[in-house]
Structure 1
């Protein structure tokens, strides 16, 4: 019994010793694991050798903490940047708006400034009879890069950014002399001849006449040097564009015109185009209601039509506005594709025909000049010279547009209005022979 009891005790001691060894081994493993964890927090297989070999400390905890804080700060900065960007965008819009207002304020005069106010704000209609719409478009921003050489010439010649311009080649040399001689006599300093050939250039130089000779252009130069009145007249729409782009208002003039007063003293400047009329009376020049009769329609036989005689494309004042430039582009484009078209007809069609299906009309303001101040030769020879009261009026200009014997009639106009010869106009027929 005693031996069996000792055996049991020995066995129990061995088992307890084995358990103790296991516990000790586990504890050693845990301790080693903790040590390794402290020495290498990112493990033995990390790709970052620097972190793997560096012992962990308080700085690592601070880095992790600051990384979290940096992430939050980055998000906050992104939010701030987004907010600033939005504010910057708003500021840009405001600056652009202010710049536009400043531009219009500097360039606009009278109606142009009022128009910007009207467009920028909505207004209630005033009492009956007090409402006035605006008609004057703002001028374009001058662009001297279009033609620096012409810009320098205009800077010397123009007054208040406006001048008279005429195109001339050797075919109209005699009339050109009468033209500029009377301009000088009337004391008009701001005028310019676009010389289309060498002969006219030398003629202008010898007579102390301001001129501009265009740079060579093969297609245009052929028309300019050899073309007749209609060909040269069509060319002017293309040339005029540069004057407008440079910011100048132009009083375009044919050379069959006698100047008796300074036309700039009689312009309204409230429209894109201000033109003399081919009309010979108040009705034909300013418009009338013409009744068309078609008896086959019975009760509806009478149809009312609105009529106006065309503007003369040989004498008109044009302001440097977008509608004005669009008008020149339209006319020049049509004439370049149809050489048989008459430039004056195309000029009026583009200016007056309204928008319609398949076609956008030109939105340009226009004014008809006083027919007794800006007088065509039909008014003079058919009406004025036969009326004692009208003969006492002194027109601003007389345009010999209705008669082919232009030079003779121009000299007669000078004799009558300048030299005082009361019978100077009498021997001419009303029309052409």
Structure 2
């Protein structure tokens, strides 16, 4: 039977209404379930209501002492790491700057020696004379490292050893240093009395940790015994990367010595020589008539370096020098530290002996003046009397304190006859 168009339209309308109603019921049911079961049917955790008490509980957990301590520990650890990284960056920047500017002669030498080079034209070839410095090792003596970081200027300082036997000279020594305006100096005290004396006079002082050998010699030893100790003690200064201007206490400072150093050698020392020949070396002819035609033998001579005043850089040859001298002083009887000091510096390699490969420089004997030069020559010469030395070392005379005071009267206070009453030599 045929179906009219109106009946078809009526059936389509009823079917569409049913679908719309079903969709509506589904949406409403979903909303209801979503409202009452926000976590789903299978969730094991009941819905949590954000009440005021629950919020306070969460905050209290965050602010617990354990949590705070953990956070503080983390912050400290990160801060320390950051500080260490900053230190490493600064060190790398310093090394890079030195390399770029070419100011570190030791680095330059290392670079030159690392590969072979062709010799230049005649008269243009110059060898490098500066050995590289050692890598500082603060673990050697952390306490001393801290002191040196505060006292030293430009990684260098004046160092003197003293015990109570030289208290009077020590006072003249550091008083002259202060008057010149030198800040980078340190007294290595060999007994407690010197520690107290230095502290009461606002003098930088350092006393080593207990050492049986050093303590026994340092407290009761005379000048030579104390002088021998310095080679053992100075080693730590060099290992820490500092250049040291070692000074005996029988020295008067009249200018800043750091303004007159060359710093191109391992050791830069004052001389016991009293003129150009004896101070800087000369060809001495030895005459042996029995040899006939070959009676004249030429020799090279130089007067010794003074082991009571020298500048030493932190290099491997310098440390080897200190070790050699200290070892011989400890194991050989009746030896003088100054003689050993010069023998190790000058003796060449020969069968059964390996010489020290250290660069050395002799200081100007009019600037770094010994007492023989002063009392035998300078005070008697009108022109030389006008010169002002950097230091005067009373090394040739036993009446040290009185001559030190006279030096101050002459050069500092301008008393022209202050030196006249003393003999050239010792009485």
Shorter-chain TM range is 0.7 to 0.9
Report deviation, 1:116. 1.8
Report deviation, 1:120. 1.9
Q: Secondary structure at the match of 2:270?
A: strand
For residues 252 and 354 of structure 1, the distance between their equivalents in structure 2, rounded to whole angstroms, comes to 25
| 2:358 is equivalent to residue 364 of structure 1 | yes
| 2:283 is equivalent to residue 289 of structure 1 | yes
For residues 324 and 104 of structure 1, the distance between their equivalents in structure 2, rounded to whole angstroms, comes to 22
| 2:224 is equivalent to residue 216 of structure 1 | no
Alignment-derived partner of residue 93 in structure 1 = none
CA RMSD of aligned residues (A): 1.7
From 314, 322, 344, the equivalent of 1:320 is 314
For residues 191 and 421 of structure 2, the distance between their equivalents in structure 1, rounded to whole angstroms, comes to 36
Report deviation, 1:118. 1.5
Alignment-derived partner of residue 330 in structure 2 = 336
Equivalent residues in 2 for 1:386-405, closer than 5 Å: 386-405=380-399
Report deviation, 1:105. 4.0
Q: Which runs of 4+ in 1 moved over 3 A?
A: 101-110
Report deviation, 1:107. 12
Contact 1:146-1:242 within 8 A present in 2 as well: yes
From 345, 352, 355, the equivalent of 2:346 is 352
Alignment-derived partner of residue 195 in structure 1 = 189
Equivalent residues in 2 for 1:13-412, closer than 5 Å: 105=99, 109-412=103-406
Q: Secondary structure at the match of 2:188?
A: strand
Report deviation, 1:121. 2.4
For residues 219 and 282 of structure 1, the distance between their equivalents in structure 2, rounded to whole angstroms, comes to 40
1:113-140 deviation digits (Å, cap 9, x = unpaired): 3212221222211121111000000100
Flag the 1:418–1:385 CA change in 2: closer, same or farther, 3 A: same
Flag the 1:215–1:174 CA change in 2: closer, same or farther, 3 A: same
| 2:426 is equivalent to residue 424 of structure 1 | no
The number of equivalent residue pairs is 334
For residues 175 and 151 of structure 1, the distance between their equivalents in structure 2, rounded to whole angstroms, comes to 27
1:219-245 deviation digits (Å, cap 9, x = unpaired): 220100000000000000000000000
Contact 1:104-1:138 within 8 A present in 2 as well: no
For residues 182 and 197 of structure 2, the distance between their equivalents in structure 1, rounded to whole angstroms, comes to 19
TM superposition score normalised by structure 1: 0.75
For residues 109 and 319 of structure 1, the distance between their equivalents in structure 2, rounded to whole angstroms, comes to 16
For residues 284 and 208 of structure 2, the distance between their equivalents in structure 1, rounded to whole angstroms, comes to 45
For residues 242 and 106 of structure 1, the distance between their equivalents in structure 2, rounded to whole angstroms, comes to 30
Report deviation, 1:340. 1.2
For residues 398 and 339 of structure 1, the distance between their equivalents in structure 2, rounded to whole angstroms, comes to 31
Decide which moves more: 381-390 or 113-122: 113-122
For residues 102 and 167 of structure 2, the distance between their equivalents in structure 1, rounded to whole angstroms, comes to 38
For residues 397 and 288 of structure 2, the distance between their equivalents in structure 1, rounded to whole angstroms, comes to 35
For residues 319 and 379 of structure 1, the distance between their equivalents in structure 2, rounded to whole angstroms, comes to 27
For residues 98 and 200 of structure 2, the distance between their equivalents in structure 1, rounded to whole angstroms, comes to 42
For residues 182 and 362 of structure 2, the distance between their equivalents in structure 1, rounded to whole angstroms, comes to 22
For residues 294 and 207 of structure 2, the distance between their equivalents in structure 1, rounded to whole angstroms, comes to 59
Query: Which stretches in structure 1 are left out of the alignment for 5+ residues?
Result: 1-97
For residues 110 and 383 of structure 1, the distance between their equivalents in structure 2, rounded to whole angstroms, comes to 40
For residues 105 and 394 of structure 2, the distance between their equivalents in structure 1, rounded to whole angstroms, comes to 34
For residues 314 and 119 of structure 1, the distance between their equivalents in structure 2, rounded to whole angstroms, comes to 33
For residues 381 and 333 of structure 2, the distance between their equivalents in structure 1, rounded to whole angstroms, comes to 41
Report deviation, 1:209. 0.2
Contact 1:259-1:396 within 8 A present in 2 as well: yes
Contact 1:376-1:401 within 8 A present in 2 as well: yes
TM superposition score normalised by structure 2: 0.76
Flag the 1:108–1:152 CA change in 2: closer, same or farther, 3 A: farther
